[in-house]
Amino acid sequence: MRSILKKTFLAGCLLSASAPLWAQQQRVLPKYDPMSRERGKTAFGATCGFCHGQNARGGEGGPDLLHSVIVLQDEEGKDLGVFLQKGRPEKGMPAFAGMPPASSTDIATFLHAEILAAMTQRTVQINIVTGDAKAGEAFFNGEGKCGTCHSVTGDLKGVGAKYDAINLQDKAMMPRGGTGFGGPVSGPKRMATVTLPSGESASGTLERITLFDVTLRDASGTRRTFTRNGATPRVEVQDPLQGHFDNLLKITDKQMHDITAYLVTLK
């Protein structure tokens, strides 16, 4: 149950919240063990709810976990469990060193189920082409910097006739495909360079990166994993799709609809 990144998750949320319900229903969405989810809800409420709110959407002392990179990168509670064991004392989050792995898994199940519920339970319009195409064009050429990598007379020529509005929005908001919750990953690969304190470095295709480790596959096909401790070792990631993900950190609901309306006009 791996999410790609927070940015991919945001894309999934924006897309699914804007797509018609019939389109959502035709997608294969993950299913969660209801008993694990209920146990996770109880454990979360007792352990984390006082800061992050009982529904994980943020409280007086903690942020909204449905948009947390740590949660969204989590794989069946493994990454979340390591994080909970260490905590973030410098940010006021204590370490839960005694938490059993099963509890971490249950909490992760609860959080991922809450994310999915937030995606699928909004009331939406059937017609998603509700934006302003002119405003979308302005965003494309201006704030969004889409024209830096794309061209309406090149790679995007005729894209409005090639895909329907839902798929256009899907590809613009979630360029690597999938649901953002374990769906297939496609698109250009990310590359990474890891530089150790000794000065030794390794480069290759990035397979996994978390707060605690990074895994890449070098040119010889060898898979290498490095443990991370803060900024050590230094990890530099080169992602051809970074511009999409940067936009997802700041794009508004209106801008998303505007860019979709503009893409539809590219016949």
- For 144-174, write each residue's pLDDT tens digit: 999 888 999 999 999 999 888 888 887 887 7
Mark whether 197 and 111 lie in a shared domain. Answer: no
Cα-based distances in Å from 60 to 24, 47, 50, 53: 33, 15, 8, 8
The per-residue pLDDT for 183 is: 34
Cα-based distances in Å from 33 to 55, 81, 185, 206: 18, 18, 24, 31
Q: How many CB atoms lie within 10 A of CB 15?
A: 25
The residue from 120, 140, 174 where one domain ends is 120
**Whole-prediction pTM value?**
0.47
The per-residue pLDDT for 232 is: 94
The per-residue pLDDT for 197 is: 94
Mark whether 114 and 197 lie in a shared domain. Answer: no
Q: Which two tokens stand for residue 202?
A: 């390794």
Q: Which two tokens stand for residue 204?
A: 């290759």
The per-residue pLDDT for 209 is: 86
Residue whose structure tokens are 């804007």: 18
The per-residue pLDDT for 158 is: 92
Domain count, the chain: 2
Q: Is 174 within the bounds of a domain?
A: no
Burial class of residue 61 (count of CB atoms within 10 Å of its CB; 0-12, 13-18, 19+): exposed
The residue from 120, 149, 174 where one domain ends is 120
Q: Is 13 within the bounds of a domain?
A: no
The per-residue pLDDT for 191 is: 93
The per-residue pLDDT for 2 is: 40
The residue from 120, 142, 170 where one domain ends is 120
Indicate which CATH number applies to the domain containing 91. Answer: 1.10.760.10
Residue whose structure tokens are 């529904």: 55
> What distance in Å separates the CA atoms of residue 203 and residue 215, rounded to the nearest whole number?
10
Give residue 103's domain range.
Answer: 21-120
Indicate which CATH number applies to the domain containing 208. Answer: 2.30.30
Q: Is 146 within the bounds of a domain?
A: no
Given a cut of 50, the residues of the chain with pLDDT beneath it are 1-27, 122-125, 178-185
Helices (H), the chain: 6-18, 21-25, 34-47, 49-52, 69-73, 78-86, 101-120, 133-141, 159-162, 165-173, 242-248, 253-264
The per-residue pLDDT for 60 is: 63
Tell me what percent of the chain is helix, strand and coil, each rounded to the nearest 5: 45, 15, 40
In angstroms, the first-to-last Cα distance of the chain is 37
Q: Is 228 within the bounds of a domain?
A: yes
